[in-house]
Amino acid sequence: MDSEKVKEIICNAVKTTEPTWSTWGVHWKELDEVFLSRAYDQLGFDDWIFVNFLRDNDILSIKKVGSILDNGCFERKYDREIAGGLEMPFYIFLKKGIFGKEGKGFYNSVKAFDGRKGAAFWKLLWQMLVCCNYLKKNYNSSFSYYLKEKYAEYENIDKVTDADFLHITQKEWDSFKENKKPWNELYGVGLNVFDYIMGDVLELEFVKNSYKLDSANQRFLTITGIFECNPKDLNHEEVVNFLSGLNLPYSLREINSGLYAYCSKLGCDKYCFCRYPPKCHECKVHKICKQDFDKFKKHDWNKKSPEEMTEEERKVYESSVRDKFTWKEGDLEFVGWEPLTEDEKKLVESIDKADRETENRNINDD
């Protein structure tokens, strides 16, 4: 696509949504609470809503959430049979007060939460508890303290002050992330989420060029035709380099936020573009956008078994299975509107096995 058209399409989205994303800024002094609201805002779990229930139960702090696992001996890895629901032993113990008032508060928060939980809800809650406990025991119950300690280790110096950290340059921050990978000790947090936690801190210079390649950004960049590939084939580094080269009047973070707001499901009350073709006529740049909704078109796989598919077809099929179903160790959970075929069950089991082997390797590496 012509670069001028690309610029017009992107700028329209960012400018249109500016009244929304410009309110997302947070302050450095609020970072610990930001961590609680964003670190596990993944896989359909609206963590940013859940923290309101933690606040209602007076446990909205890393110290209080982290203290819940002080009085027990648990494996770091999530066990569905222990913590996979309110009826599971761990939550029964929380309810009974065995893990103190903070534990009861957490139980009440989980029970009262009626938002979008997502397929990995119980696992993400467990990761939150483990990670907060780790920060409590080792880093003064503070994510900001953790960051300063990790940066001091990287620079081989005794101490990093708040002022020092706020003045880290983009080059220094990128080098720190590349070599230190500071998210590795934060259970359940990867690079994208780590950038998401840091991305809206107003006092930090280096976040102006952070970029989270979330599903809304993937949708926008592919449906518009800016990138010709399938959404999940987008490469983070390639996207960042491409957008940086456009020299737009917005920072990378502002572009990131603008595209997210433009076509996120959470923005459907105001925007919700690039999701439904009938909505396109309301978009100011619909005449130059490719409107390639086929990128998300559902395929009819009933005519072929996985063994009969080409390698490319199989990749697309596996992706569709991941999107349509969730599964947990030991069983399959139906979340679509069609029953699984026997071939689909076998494929899901094989993918699940591969995922668990990868997770086990990562835990052993720790």
Least confident range from 16-20, 119-123, 208-212, 353-357: namely 353-357
Taking alpha carbons only, the member of 221, 191, 230 closest to residue 319 is 230
Tokens of 155: 């620079």
Same domain, 169 and 244: no
**Residue 250 belongs to a domain:** yes
Total number of domains in the chain: 3
Between 265 and 136, the more confident residue is 136
Q: What is the pLDDT of residue 230?
A: 85
Residue type, 72: G
Q: What is the pLDDT of residue 336?
A: 37
pLDDT averaged over every residue in the chain: 85
**Residue 94 belongs to a domain:** yes
Segment 223-260, tens digit of pLDDT = 999 999 888 889 988 999 999 999 999 989 899 999 99
**Residue 206 belongs to a domain:** no
Q: What is the pLDDT of residue 335?
A: 36
Same domain, 195 and 241: no
Segment 47-68, tens digit of pLDDT = 999 999 999 999 999 999 999 9
Output the pTM of the full model: 0.68
Same domain, 285 and 352: no
- Given a cut of 70, is residue 170 above it in pLDDT? yes
Degrees (nearest 5) of the Cα angle 24, 27, 31?
100
Looking at 241, 273, 296, which one is the last position of a domain? Answer: 296
Q: What is the pLDDT of residue 356?
A: 57
**Residue 301 belongs to a domain:** no
Q: How confident is the model over 133-152, as a mean pLDDT? A: 96
Q: How confident is the model over 72-91, as a mean pLDDT? A: 88
Q: What is the pLDDT of residue 349?
A: 66
How many Å apart are CA 301 and CA 100, to the nearest integer? 51
Q: What is the pLDDT of residue 338?
A: 44
- Given a cut of 90, is residue 153 above it in pLDDT? yes
Same domain, 87 and 173: yes
Between 87 and 352, the more confident residue is 87
Query: pLDDT class for 100, splitting at 50, 70, 90?
Result: very high
Give the max Cα distance, the chain.
64
Same domain, 227 and 163: no
Q: What is the pLDDT of residue 62?
A: 97
Same domain, 33 and 107: yes
Looking at 296, 314, 342, which one is the last position of a domain? Answer: 296
Query: pLDDT class for 343, splitting at 50, 70, 90?
Result: low
**Residue 41 belongs to a domain:** yes
The answer for residues whose C-beta is within 8 angstroms of residue 260's C-beta and 6 or more apart is: 21, 212, 214, 216, 217, 267
Kindly tell me the burial class for residue 329, based on how many C-beta atoms sit within 10 Å of its own C-beta (0-12, 13-18, 19 or more): middle
Query: pLDDT class for 348, splitting at 50, 70, 90?
Result: low
Q: How confident is the model over 27-45, as a mean pLDDT? A: 92
Same domain, 87 and 149: yes
Same domain, 144 and 221: no
Looking at 275, 296, 317, which one is the last position of a domain? Answer: 296
Same domain, 115 and 258: no
Q: What is the pLDDT of residue 55?
A: 97
Same domain, 279 and 311: no
How many Å apart are CA 175 and CA 124, to the nearest integer? 29
Segment 289-305, tens digit of pLDDT = 999 988 776 555 456 67
Same domain, 93 and 195: yes
Domain limits for position 281: 3-23+212-296
**Residue 167 belongs to a domain:** yes
Least confident range from 237-246, 286-295, 306-315, 321-330: namely 321-330
**Residue 207 belongs to a domain:** no
- Given a cut of 60, is residue 331 above it in pLDDT? no
Same domain, 264 and 328: no
**Residue 185 belongs to a domain:** yes
Between 273 and 309, the more confident residue is 273
